[in-house]
A and B are shown apart, each in its own frame.
Chain A
Amino acid sequence: QKEVEQNSGPLSVPEGAIASLNCTYSDRGSQSFFWYRQYSGKSPELIMSIYSNGDKEDGRFTAQLNKASQYVSLLIRDSQPSDSATYLCAVLNQAGTALIFGKGTTLSVSS
């Protein structure tokens, strides 16, 4: 059974701080990784995708991938109260037919 693990949180950070979200996955053959943000009662919204080892930056967001350690992370710089949401880590299965999601980490940014 392929798995994606995340700490459920809640992760609480003050406004302006860096939030660090982590994810591990079990399928060593996975090649495509995604972070989605989900507000309460809403559907997942894509934040970033990452395919290669290293860092990928997009505005205040940086995704990091380490395939040897089977580890993906998301850093949110200058956190804002509007960033308060559940962050879902997703890994594409090797067949490319389905995303496997973690349970999500709830982030709370206090002003």
Chain B
Amino acid sequence: DTGVSQDPRHKITKRGQNVTFRCDPISEHNRLYWYRQTLGQGPEFLTYFQNEAQLEKSRLLSDRFSAERPKGSFSTLEIQRTEQGDSAMYLCASSAVTDTQYFGPGTRLTVL
């Protein structure tokens, strides 16, 4: 049984560059979530997919952020024109019909 996987695990980029993260949910889970976590804070919700439909987006998800989930399988989160304030751990979670969310290992982004 494989859990949620994320790639890459670490990303260092320069301010102004674009970055893309990938999340592969647990295979039978149709719901997928992205969160962002900064040091000393709990995870903050970014967006939610049910199958391929993006059903909710947080106000935290500025127009520089975009997320997709083609065919309802893996998901990508892209950040354009990165800023130093984007430095954080980006977490992906998935769930089945029940509302219990299981998290992947996260992608740690550092913007220089």
The residue that B56 contacts in the complex, of A36, A49, A97, A104, with Cβ under 8 A, is: A97
Q: Mark B1-45, 1 if CB is under 8 A from A, else 0.
A: 000000000000000000000000000000001010000111111
> Which chain A residues border B43 with CB–CB below 8 Å?
44, 88, 99, 101
B100 within 8 A of A: yes
The residue that B45 contacts in the complex, of A36, A49, A98, with Cβ under 8 A, is: A98
B99 within 8 A of A: yes
> Which chain B residues border A42 with CB–CB below 8 Å?
105-106
Q: In A1-41, which residues have CB < 8 Å from any B CB?
A: 4, 8, 32, 34, 36
> Which chain B residues border A100 with CB–CB below 8 Å?
45
A82 within 8 A of B: no
A95 within 8 A of B: yes
What would be 19 A-B contacts, judged by CB atoms less than 8 Å apart? Answer: A8-B40, A32-B99, A34-B101, A36-B103, A43-B89, A43-B91, A46-B101, A49-B100, A88-B42, A95-B56, A98-B45, A99-B33, A99-B35, A99-B43, A99-B45, A99-B93, A101-B43, A101-B44, A103-B41
Binding site for A on B (CB under 8 A): 33, 35, 40-45, 48, 55-56, 58, 89, 91, 93, 99-106
